[in-house]
Amino acid sequence: MKTIIAFFTILFSVTLISCNSNSSPTPVANTETVVLVHGAWQGAYAWATVKSNLEKKGYKVIAVELPAHGDDQTSVAGITLSSYSAKVISVIEAQPSKVILVGHSMGGMVISEVSEKIPSKIVKLVYLAAFLPKSQQSLLEISSADKQTLLPAALEFSADQTTVSVKKDNLVAIFCQDGSETIKQILLDKNRTEPLLPLTQKVTLTDANFGSVPKFYIRTVNDKAIGITLQDQMITTTPVKKVYSLNAGHTAHLSHANEVSKIIEEISATK
């Protein structure tokens, strides 16, 4: 009799533990950290929803605030493209594992330079409506070939030629015409002038380093800042493992955050 009672006691305990574990599932931890790099005239805030979505799926996510952007109060004096890459490298080197490095717009120049310097720490590069350079190209050189962008006519340069801003009346129409009214207001409220020097500086890239990291590109078909024709040209001149397309404007991580999050998840799972 005691043996029977003991058997049912153990059975009940195992069943209870099983039920409790099923009632509160926890996200599966992912071994790769996702590092998000914003573009010009923006800050880490632009990744808020994507970051939250991925964290709910068990990813560790870091949205980098580049110097003199967002809430960072670093002076624009002396800011270079290397200033940006150094900030991202410091974040990546603090991680115990390799990272998936995502760059939006100007952030594509940054992640390219970072991958040249520390390729062994990066498992994948993801370009979201981003500049995908060849060696010895600058952002301004690449963008000069863009016949679809509305950005040049909306730019205002400071008298000392150290910063460049986008006319406030044109900002939403160029960057996020498909965003909600809340998102549009955030862009307007958070908008800051952009250091000019990094946009003029060339990247040096090699096949051994930059070329060794698998690349993925997310096209934004309705982009008014980087025309889709230029996006496609960049994709054809640099080997890309897989290309995704969104019917979105330039800041798809704001206007189509859920779709961007799912694509990053898919890229993470790609072997």
Give 237-249 pLDDT, tens digit per residue.
999 999 999 999 9
Place of tokens 């390219």: 112
What is the value of pTM for the model shown?
A: 0.89
Q: By percentage, how much of the chain surpasses pLDDT 90?
A: 87
Residue 9: pLDDT over 70: no
User: What residue type is assigned to position 200 of the chain?
Assistant: T
pLDDT in tens, 32-74: 899 999 999 999 999 999 999 999 999 999 999 999 999 999 9
Cα(212)–Cα(200) distance, rounded to whole angstroms? 25
Tokens of 185: 């207001």
For residue 13, the model assigns a pLDDT of 39
Closest to 201 measured CA to CA, from 110, 111, 90: 110
Which residues form the catalytic set? 105
Reply yes or no on whether the pLDDT at 111 is more than 70: yes
**Coil vs helix vs strand at 53:** helix
Higher pLDDT, 25 or 263: 263
Q: How much of the chain, in percent, has pLDDT values that exceed 70?
A: 89
Strands 155-157 and 163-166: antiparallel
26-269: what fold? Rossmann fold (3.40.50)
